[in-house]
Amino acid sequence: MAMTLAFARPELDVKLITTEAGNQTQAKTVANALAFASYLGQDVEIAKGLDRPMFKALEIAAEVHGNSGLGDVEFPVPMLELSARTAVEAMKQVLMDSPEPVVLIATGPLTNIGALLFAHPEVKPKIKFISYMGGAAVGGNMTPTAEFNVYVDPHAANLVFRSGVPIVMSGLDVTHKAYVTLEELEELERMDTDFALKVAAMMRFYIKQAKQTAFHPADSEKCIRLHDLCAVSYVVTPELFEGDDCCVEIETEGRLTAGTTVVDYAQLSGKTANAKVLHTVDREKFVAQFFGAVEKMG
């Protein structure tokens, strides 16, 4: 979903896609990325990321994303091949070779970017900002206080949030408002292109899954949230979003709270803001933007 918008918009020049373990194992995530980008006719480097979180054992949200990670939708055998470079190496070289600062869009655990920033801090000046889908100022979806992407690798998230690189955080606060209704979904299906039908089928798959798990909120049967898309949409059209500049820190310890994004909305800590925490989206324009991208790519 998120890739669709990224490829569709002329404002973005997608140079590199890297994979993270988390929603699925690396093997499946890599296969999906190759298949999806190939299907869309994109010639882009896809590099494989690190296999597991920094310290924690890998936890996978397979029950949400389906066995293949793309619901049960099938894509043709990909034309693209996996890059010979690792994700960390590829990111480092793309950044160092870029004449101007680059935006990183991240929609999973932050293992690769954390490793990059820790091992190669010299890349920092080449990063304009990181648009991140993850975390939550209020609540969580994995534990009462932790969102899945941060929970999976809180230490890597900590490296990123402490790095000094500016972050725009599309946490659950905003992504829960970034949904497509069933009526809108039918509109997508009426486009009747192969791609629109595939996208709609994936979305229906997620809705069906949501009915069977405790992972999603109660209204998950009546709409579908496009969490990851927020992180791309913000880069293209920041005017669709509202948020506040806050200090965000990552709890890596705690018996109950590991993986919490501690967002200091009330400025109790006196610490400097390191992130813009989004809380509001113009939902109708957001959905229209996405449907426009599907139409263009289909």
Q: Which residues are catalytic?
A: 227
Give the Cα separation of 62 and 275 in Å (integer).
29
Comparison of 92 and 198: residue with beta carbon closer to its own copies? 92
Q: Which is nearer to its own copies, 144 or 292 (CB)?
A: 144
108 binds, among its own copies, Ca ion, none (CB under 5 to 8 A by kind): Ca ion
The single residue among 140, 154, 171, 243 that binds its own copies, judged by CB under 8 A, is 140
Does 268 sit near its own copies (CB under 8 A)? yes
By CB under 8 A, residue 30 contacts its own copies: no
- CB nearer Ca ion, residue 38 or residue 107: 107
Say which entry of Ca ion, its own copies, none residue 120 contacts (CB below 5 to 8 A, set by partner kind). its own copies
Interface with its own copies, residue 50, by CB under 8 A? yes
**Token couple for 227:** 């969490």
Binding of its own copies by 86 (CB under 8 A): yes
The reply on whether position 225 binds its own copies by CB under 8 A is no
Q: Residues 60, 22: contact at Cβ < 8 Å?
A: yes
State which of residues 189, 264, 282, 295 lies at the interface with its own copies (CB under 8 A).
264
Helix, strand, or coil (residue 262):
strand
Q: 178 CB contacts (<8 Å, ≥6 apart)?
A: 225, 226, 227, 229, 230, 281, 283, 286
d(CA 171, CA 135): 5
- 94 binds its own copies per the rule CB under 8 A: no
Q: Are 87 and 33 in contact (CB under 8 A)?
A: no
DSSP 239: G
Distance CA 283, CA 239 (A): 12
The strand ranges marked E within 97-240 are 102-106, 127-133, 167-170, 179-181, 223-225
Q: Does 275 bind its own copies (CB under 8 A)?
A: no
Window 158-197: residues binding its own copies (CB under 8 A)? 158-159, 162
What CA–CA distances, in Å, run from 175 to 14, 51, 130?
23, 27, 17
Which range touches its own copies (CB under 8 A), out of 30-38, 203-211, 265-273, 277-285?
265-273
Stretch that binds its own copies, among 5-13, 34-42, 61-69, 245-253 (CB under 8 A): 245-253
Residue 149, both tokens: 């992407």
The C-alpha atoms of residue 110 and residue 158 are separated, in whole angstroms, by: 9
Closer residue to its own copies in complex, CB, 8/136 = 136
The site for its own copies (CB under 8 A) is made up of 50-51, 54-55, 86, 88-89, 115-116, 118-122, 138-145, 155, 158-159, 162, 214, 217, 249, 251-258, 260, 262-270
